[in-house]
Amino acid sequence: MAISNELLSSTLFSIRDGEVDELFQKVAFLDHCKRAGGIETEDGGIKIQRPLAVAEHSSITAFPTGYEPLSLAVNDVMEPAIYSWADFGAPIVITKKEELENQSEKAIVKIVEARMRSVMGMLRREINTQILAGNSSVLGDLNSLNGVPAAYTTGILEQGAPAPATQTNTVGGIQKSVVDVQGWYNRQFNAAGAFGTNGMRGMHQMWTETNSRSPMGEIDCVLMSEAGFANYKRSLFAQERYIDEKSLDGGRMALMFAGAPVEADLAMPDATVNGAGNAATAYFLNFDGIKLIQHPDADFAVSDFEHISGTTARAATLYWKGQLIADHIGSQALLFNGEAF
């Protein structure tokens, strides 16, 4: 019995929402981004544009006598950060051979479901790797938080001090050192290879520095390397502090820091990615200042199944169009070189 394209397509459409939800739940960055309102949609355009305030709009006039003239001098303070879209897709394919060897509709549907889950698992791994470490072999057009290696010149978080001479990456087409505003420099702390000595101090310092510079909201989550997470938990034991553990969606476990969930993620860039002494131990993320933009018609959208010309196979496509962008880098922080206790 022939299986119709309509049946195969309806199977994909019926499981698509659940699979996308699972993708977000199982990737810590995506889950916290979604929970904190960091997922936004934009309706097309060749580029994504976000306004960035690069100076004060006007000045304050003091009135010691009451007769002083009000200064009406103003500055053109807005400069657009411009991002290119990242587009990627993956096919879900079923061959005529597979159809003939699995005659029932139920068997074919199970194959389609398994292929969809396999594709979503692959996307989950690659998206997380690219956003956190910047070294996905296939999603290089998607921006990354990791701006430590010399070649990662568009990465958002750098390990240099927040100043023109030491943070020079270009984010959204705007070079940090040229604009030279505090909202465009991330905060950073070097644990100097000794988390037990410096790690907790660094975490408190990053928390304070980011929140004091954030125009709104506080840190939403802290993502740590496996070693960093173990060191944080060990520090809590050593200081005889209460360890607040929390179970999150997707079976993930988190500790807490100043009310924000702290999670380990295998994709955090280690010394093999960032170089000796430069491993990213923790990202402090505020999703008022970091956004994942999606096109509303390409947010892991699936197409109908169609026959592939010149073959006996049929395929549907899962497609995503979006970008990781920054609105306020000063409310984000990197703690590095804290892998050893």
The pLDDT tens digits of the residues spanning 203-243 come to: 999 999 999 999 888 999 999 999 999 999 999 887 655 56
Q: Assess whether 121 and 261 both reside in one domain.
A: no
Is 315 within the bounds of a domain?
A: yes
Using 50, 70 and 90 to split pLDDT, how confident is the model at 268?
very high
Distance in angstroms (rounded) separating the CA atoms of residues 280 and 275: 10
Q: Which 3-state string (H, E, C) describes 299-333?
A: EEEECCCEECCCCCCEEEEEEEEEEEEECCHHHCE
For the four alpha carbons of 42, 20, 317 and 304, in that order, the dihedral sign comes to negative
Alpha-carbon 282 to chain mean position:
13
Q: Assess whether 45 and 131 both reside in one domain.
A: yes
Q: Assess whether 111 and 177 both reside in one domain.
A: no
Is 28 within the bounds of a domain?
A: yes
Q: Assess whether 202 and 302 both reside in one domain.
A: no
Q: Assess whether 204 and 232 both reside in one domain.
A: yes
Is 153 within the bounds of a domain?
A: no
Q: Assess whether 205 and 275 both reside in one domain.
A: yes
**114 has a pLDDT exceeding 80:** yes
Is 146 within the bounds of a domain?
A: no
Q: Assess whether 180 and 250 both reside in one domain.
A: yes
Is 142 within the bounds of a domain?
A: no
Percent of the chain predicted with pLDDT > 90: 76
**1 has a pLDDT exceeding 70:** no
Q: Assess whether 245 and 285 both reside in one domain.
A: yes
pLDDT, position 200: 96
Axis-axis angle for helices 5-26, 105-132 (nearest 10): 30
By residue range, what is the domain housing residue 272?
Answer: 170-291+328-336
Instruction: Give pLDDT tens digits for 35-52.
Output: 999 999 998 789 999 988
Cβ(322)–Cβ(298) below 8 Å = yes
Q: How far is CA 91 from CA 12, 29, 84, 127, 177, in A?
A: 12, 25, 23, 17, 42
Is 228 within the bounds of a domain?
A: yes
Lookup: tokens for 82:
């411009």
Q: Assess whether 285 and 207 both reside in one domain.
A: yes
For residue 279, the SS3 value is coil
Q: What is the reported pTM?
A: 0.91
Q: Assess whether 88 and 177 both reside in one domain.
A: no
Is 66 within the bounds of a domain?
A: no
Number of domains making up the chain: 2
Lookup: tokens for 41:
């949609």
pLDDT, position 44: 76
Lookup: tokens for 279:
């491993």
pLDDT, position 247: 65
Distance in angstroms (rounded) separating the CA atoms of residues 12 and 199: 46
